[in-house]
Chains A and B, each alone.
Chain A
Amino acid sequence: MSGDTSELDAYLRAQEKKDLLRLITCGSVDDGKSTLIGRLLYEGKMLLDDQLDSLKAESARVGTQAGDLDLALLVDGLAAEREQGITIDVAYRFFATDKRKFIVADTPGHEQYTRNMATGASTADLAIILADAHRSSELLTQTRRHSYICSMLGIRHIVLAVNKMDLVQYDQAVFEAYVARYMAFAKELGLTQVECIPISALRGDNVISPSRHMSWYRGPALLPYLETVEFGRESSMRPLRMPVQWVNRPNADFRGFAGTIASGTVRTSDRIKVLPSGQEATISRIVTQDGDLEAAVDSQAVTLVLDREIDVSRGDVVCAAGSPVSIADQFAVRILWMAPEALLPGRTYLMKAGTVTTQATVTALKHKISINTLEHIAAKTLRLNEIGLCNISLDRPIAFEPYAESRDLGSFILIDRITNQTIGMGLIDFALRRASNIHWQNLEVSRSARAAQKNQKAAVIWFTGLSGSGKSTIASALEKRLYSLGRHTYVLDGDNVRHGLNRDLGFTDADRIENIRRVAEVARLMVDAGLLVIVSFISPFRSEREAARNLMGEGEFLEVFVDAPLDVCEARDPKGLYKKARRQQLMNFTGIGSAYEAPEHPDAHLDTARLSVEEAVDKVLNLLEAKGLTSA
């Protein structure tokens, strides 16, 4: 037993020393990704008896290999995937050899699941791109798309595995012709480290050991290559960056900043600078439950204690004092769009970057990228799975590094503020310096002074509702009543804005968003000027009304839902627009060709099918009174 124990001990020590290679497999549908992973697990003796038994049973039931083991069933984990025989979502698989541990992300081949492929790629050190030798006369769109995404996400090591060599009689010429075609494309992408291996995942050629059928191939088989490839993580050589994740204050005597080191090394008595505030301090302790450390390196999760009280909170970045990161609020970025609803310039999204979450607006969509030709194509929106170059503007400056220098500080996701879905992933290419050129003039006459001079409080009363619901009528009656009460008011509606300021805008979703953005900005300036502003616009989208609300101060925005059923509005049809829309002479008309998103919690709800104009105005006046807006 003692011999056994020391042998085991040696084995365990060897296990501890192993490093971890994270890789993805990608390629078009039917290129054999799941089969390849199944083959690695099977040949590598990574499958246990009960897993093999259940694989045999499932192969007989739903397998595609005529009763033989269907290795793809090992990885397709969802019922829908096994039934349809396709991979929908990323599956993570784990295996270890004597040399290394591996986490494999098996990613889907279908174009509609590209966002799942990109998710798998974002954490990978290496990508295996599978291609089908049998369909090798050209590069498939998915092969190009996946290669592009791998290069964009900074994966340095690519293995081009030309699969199904058994179907082309292991012909060297087929392999070499395909490799030449692929390498030309890889060169354009700037992918330099590409290892090309001819394999058959189904038959096991060149997967674990060299194939007997391809003696012309002199390179390594796939698994030996994965076990030995040098993959660098040079981030420990770079200056210290640690995004603050959580402030640890168990009692009055302890204040530590918890986070994971993104790059570099931190030592006690190091001088550090906290961004964006720019304050400096010295590290007094590096705290862990296993005792204080003298030093910690990148990827370690630690808690830092500083020698003095400075203001540090979640989202700040602790940097080496001598080489801090930059801060900015406008960036040139690349975005991969992940939602069925298109990206719309002008709309405000939430952006999570590192440990900071801000509001972000796409200010310009410069172009999208054609996967096939890598050409830049002019675009007004980005659709699901499209990649575009954009400028974005945040509501405050953040500490960052370009993605090329730091995956942790240069990556972000975009979140829809209403549905909370993750709708895009992006990387920061560089900061736009324009932000620092616009300084708000600090005027001596303040907004509250202007309102006080008029003996009132300023606010926006925002009417939203379908065309014909009664917005303009009520807005105009409301203004008369306020005027008679001595209030200073102004009404913004389609007639006075669409004909002038917004003359250049049409009725596409993107133009509607820009329309509302401009109206909201004008309303804000008028509130600054001390006015009660009545906005009367269909404003069909929740998201833009929410953005307008966020422009104003607390309590300065009241949303009034002017509500009438579509058939009532259509019967009224004061401008004859519904008739035109029904005759298809008017496209994108709200309620007919374009959606209206009703407010979920309006400050006032006016049911104009029941209320008279005067009753509706009274209801709004009651609201204003309750909010203290009608009195001085």
Chain B
Amino acid sequence: MVKFFAKRILCLLLVVWIVSVLAFVMMRLAPGDAAVMALPDYASEAQIAAMRVKLGLDKPYITQYLIYLGDLLRGDLGTSVLYEKPCLDVIMERLPATLSVTIVCSIMVLIISIPLGIIAGVNKGGPIDFFAVLFALLGQSMSVVWICVLLLLLCSVKHNWLPSMGYNGLFDVKYLIMPAIAMGYKMCAGMVRMGRSGMIDVLSEDYITCAYARGMSRFEVNCKYAFKNSIIPVITLFGMDVAAMLAGAVIIETTFTIPGIGSMLVKAVSNRDYPLTQSTLVVTAAMFAVVNLVVDIVNAFIDRRMKLN
């Protein structure tokens, strides 16, 4: 167990380091000058040069990276050029909204997709299966922009059920319902599809026939054997999607005025705010790796054949 965790944490650190290198290199490769962006249009050459020195951009790339890495190891993510404050503060201001939407969305997706996918798989060819397949097909083919607009028009403009904008913390759920639906419907559709096909595959296995031969009831077979084995790919997919959600969703944040991490990252990239972009990518990569670690642990507990070591 200890070895497993040590190994995974090393992997996590490796991932974060690789992301930090990629973020650093990609930002420098992108056209545009961070010093020019930090100043008004009419800044003189001297002002631009002074800003370059202030941002440390006058140093060789390798020196810049080593300084950045050293700060990172000390827990200093740098200072945002755009916001003129520590990157960690900027990220921590934005992260709660993204986490709140992710949590509500995840709960909603779990409640809908797992039962629907499993029941559809068990009742292959039945009306529920037909509905589940249609739901998955529609869900995966509908545009996020369209869904956002539809939700706004339906739930806010037409029926006044939900507020059209804003965010007021995790526990004021009415602000999170529309963003969560918009963020989760595609994921839900994918998981229904995965759950259904997993269940159909498992139910055609020999050990299921064997369980029936031993006189077990259909309910017992489905719950005790089929469900456990079919859920593993669903959990893996869920983990990947949740991790992706933690990086934010620009369209959804923009439409519902959610102060999340996605729109902040876009702003940071388009303004060539190197410290903030790099820090955000490193933080989201770390969250991605942690979620995947949790998924692996959950999978190992569900299926004992997947030993932690």
Q: Does A associate with B in a complex?
A: no
Residues on B facing A (Cβ under 8 Å): none
